[in-house]
Chain A
Amino acid sequence: MNIIESGIGELIELPDMNAFREWNRTQKTRKLVDKLMTEREAISRYAYDGCYIGTELYGTVRCPMTLVREVLRQGIKDLRVAGQGVTELDLWLAAGIVKTLDLTYIGLEVYGTSNALRRAVESGQVEKVVEWSNAGISWRFKAAAMGVPFLPVRSMLGTDTLKYSAAKVVECPFTGEKVALLPALILDVGLMHVHRADRYGNCQVEGITGFGFEFARACKRLIVSAEEIVPTTEIRKYPDRTLVPYYLVDAVVHAPFASHPGEMAYVYCRDEPEIKAWVEASKTHEGSMAYLKEWVYDLPDHQAYLDKLGRLRLARLLEGRERRE
């Protein structure tokens, strides 16, 4: 195939689909085994220095904050990170544990640019940044989910976003038109938060699915936290709601309010004062570190985080939830 253009960004991992098949054959059990464990156990068992890691959904929406904080607490470093984010990736960037980034969007949305990203990238602490679009990275997960090494798409063409990515432009072998080829993205470790799961890892979500479907199928290890642990009989009642079947999942962590300070559709709303507190704290390195000390390092686990927030505050977030009407 004639390659017309190659992005000069680094391809962090080759899309080796045979290796992925072999991994799925030998490392992922088909048995219904109990995978319920604490966040400490899950992260220490599956995340490691230098791993290629990602989070789903993003920012302030169905975001695996409990698992993100546990990665920080365990001092895991030199992460190669794929994805888009607000607070979750902000915390990692502020703590200086990110070495390489497949970047689509890291910002604070209505509150502007991410100061944590700016400091980490402009100082050179993040050694490599590879550009992608949001659909681009989601389609990369989709390619991995399909078990194919790349997908042709009609986005990113003609731009610096493609030039500084690891995509390639080729002639379509059928029509002769130019298409961008996006390499499949297989993560070592994926972190994801869902509405409910059973002990085996069958997961259901409410509302938009983001890129959860594709992401869950593109991870060698998938750690899931859930608002609620339900009996498998509940899953079997609504199998059409299962976004992630058990065999994709390696660990299940029970963590209510795990998306805090973000929201969980139909369960609780964003905690705006807490998001603003991070926006303020993240303006300086010192402020960020003080925030991390108070809300991450000085707390032993997720339960301590919830205790610190207090029942009244959590009750207010439940009250502000989106309702089906």
Chain B
Amino acid sequence: MSEPSYNPTELLICTASRLMEDGTTAFIGTGIPMLAAALAQRQQAPNLVTVFEFGGTGAILEDLPMAVGEARTFHKALHASGICDVMEAAQRGFIDYGFLGGAQVDPYGNLNSTIIGPVHHPPKVRLPGSGGANDVGSLCWHTIIIIRHSKRSFVSKVDFVTTPGYLTGPGAREAAGLPPDTGPLYVVSNLALLGFDDDTKRMKLLATQPGVTVEQVVAETSFELIIPTQVGVSEAPTDEELHILRDQVDRQRLYI
């Protein structure tokens, strides 16, 4: 098979971007979610209302922000307020989607961005911490996780639950006091698009990325995935998507 005409980052961006719906509100974190949102606004979702944690709501992403508080996160925006206001909007049920990353994800979609290794002080590897991720994962209706696929990142148990997925399984979020009907919807990786089984809340393979086999996905995952009899294949990034990404969204190639 010939080499694809796109790199893994571009694949992640395009796959995540297609999940963004017009006329919805979505929390956007630094990096890939920003590029995905900028692409989505130029494609199927011109009225995607981006929400940035330090207060920008409804920005038009003409230039790519480098930080979740910088001026481009409220460029031509509808509202520039503060973190309490936007997080309280999420707490009241106004934010539809949250796009999140992390260093590790487990079968229930719990995310770790705090510590790698045993949790004691001092830790072996100290990561940046929750930031807004825990709030986004707790309070948005649905979260969509974007993460590179490997045995080290798809683990049976995260070293530290920074951000809640389905915690320990069905009913666990509600039992912990989190708002009902919330939780991770999809996991976007460079190998696959995954979802969560309705009954067990465990991760389920939905589609492989182009040129990737189910066996490869399984081999790169440290826990048992639910593999349905029908597994789709995601569409490769189109020429149009790649053109927008390279020539409009990230002209300076800061990310891609």
Give chain A's interface residues, CB within 8 Å of chain B.
Answer: 57-62, 84, 86, 103-107, 109-110, 113-114, 117-118, 121-124, 128-129, 131-136, 138-139, 142, 153-161, 164, 169, 177-180, 207-214, 263, 265-266, 269-270, 272, 321-322, 325
For A114, the chain B residues whose CB sits under 8 A away are 128
From A212, which residue of chain B is reached at the shortest CB distance? B82
A58 with B66: CB separation less than 8 A = no
Main secondary structure of the interface of B (DSSP, over half): loop
Also in contact, A159 and B161, with CB within 8 A (given A104-B130, A212-B82): yes
CB B132 to nearest CB in A, in angstroms, measures: 4
B126 with A211: CB separation less than 8 A = no
Main secondary structure of the interface of A (DSSP, over half): mixed
Closest 10 CB pairs of A and B: A178-B177, A158-B176, A107-B128, A105-B131, A322-B71, A208-B55, A135-B87, A61-B69, A133-B134, A135-B135
Q: Which among B67, B177, B178 is the interface contact of A59 at CB below 8 angstroms? A: B67
Find residues 110-152 in chain B having any chain A CB closer than 8 Å to their own CB.
110, 114, 119, 121-135, 138-139
B196 within 8 A of A: no
How many B residues touch A, CB cutoff 8 Å?
60
CB B171 to nearest CB in A, in angstroms, measures: 11
The complex places the Cα of A258 from the Cα of B31 at a distance, in Å, of 26
11 more A-B contacts (CB under 8 A) besides A158-B173, A214-B82, A270-B67? A58-B69, A61-B54, A104-B129, A121-B122, A133-B135, A133-B138, A134-B132, A155-B138, A159-B167, A209-B80, A210-B82
B130 with A110: CB separation less than 8 A = no
The complex places the Cα of A214 from the Cα of B55 at a distance, in Å, of 13
Q: List 5 A-B contacts (CB under 8 A).
A: A105-B132, A113-B127, A135-B84, A169-B177, A208-B74
The complex places the Cα of A320 from the Cα of B76 at a distance, in Å, of 16
A123 with B127: CB separation less than 8 A = no
Also in contact, A160 and B119, with CB within 8 A (given A58-B69, A154-B179, A263-B70): yes
The complex places the Cα of A132 from the Cα of B132 at a distance, in Å, of 9
A159 with B54: CB separation less than 8 A = no
The complex places the Cα of A179 from the Cα of B139 at a distance, in Å, of 13
CB A318 to nearest CB in B, in angstroms, measures: 13
For A107, the chain B residues whose CB sits under 8 A away are 127-129, 131
For A84, the chain B residues whose CB sits under 8 A away are 131
B178 with A157: CB separation less than 8 A = yes
B81 within 8 A of A: yes
Also in contact, A159 and B121, with CB within 8 A (given A113-B128, A117-B128, A322-B71): no
B222 within 8 A of A: no
B162 within 8 A of A: yes
For B130, the chain A residues whose CB sits under 8 A away are 104-105, 131-134, 136, 161
A178 with B176: CB separation less than 8 A = yes
Per-position binary interface string of chain B over residues 165-187, scored 1 when its CB falls under 8 Å from any chain A CB and 0 otherwise: 00100001101111100000000
A121 with B71: CB separation less than 8 A = no
A105 with B128: CB separation less than 8 A = yes
From A117, which residue of chain B is reached at the shortest CB distance? B126
A156 with B31: CB separation less than 8 A = no
A158 with B178: CB separation less than 8 A = yes
A161 with B128: CB separation less than 8 A = no
CB A185 to nearest CB in B, in angstroms, measures: 13
CB B101 to nearest CB in A, in angstroms, measures: 12
From A266, which residue of chain B is reached at the shortest CB distance? B71
The complex places the Cα of A208 from the Cα of B73 at a distance, in Å, of 9
For A154, the chain B residues whose CB sits under 8 A away are 91, 138-139, 177-179
The complex places the Cα of A114 from the Cα of B174 at a distance, in Å, of 34
For B161, the chain A residues whose CB sits under 8 A away are 158-161
Find residues 36-57 in chain B having any chain A CB closer than 8 Å to their own CB.
52-56
A138 with B91: CB separation less than 8 A = no
From B75, which residue of chain A is reached at the shortest CB distance? A322
B102 within 8 A of A: no
B82 with A213: CB separation less than 8 A = yes
The complex places the Cα of A58 from the Cα of B67 at a distance, in Å, of 10
For B177, the chain A residues whose CB sits under 8 A away are 154, 157-158, 169, 177-180
For A272, the chain B residues whose CB sits under 8 A away are 66
CB A14 to nearest CB in B, in angstroms, measures: 22
Q: Which among B74, B84, B160 is the interface contact of A207 at CB below 8 angstroms? A: B74
For B128, the chain A residues whose CB sits under 8 A away are 105-107, 113-114, 117
For B30, the chain A residues whose CB sits under 8 A away are 109-110
Q: Which among A129, A153, A208 is the interface contact of B54 at CB below 8 angstroms? A: A208
For B127, the chain A residues whose CB sits under 8 A away are 107, 113
Also in contact, A164 and B119, with CB within 8 A (given A142-B84, A157-B164, A177-B177): yes
For B81, the chain A residues whose CB sits under 8 A away are 208-209
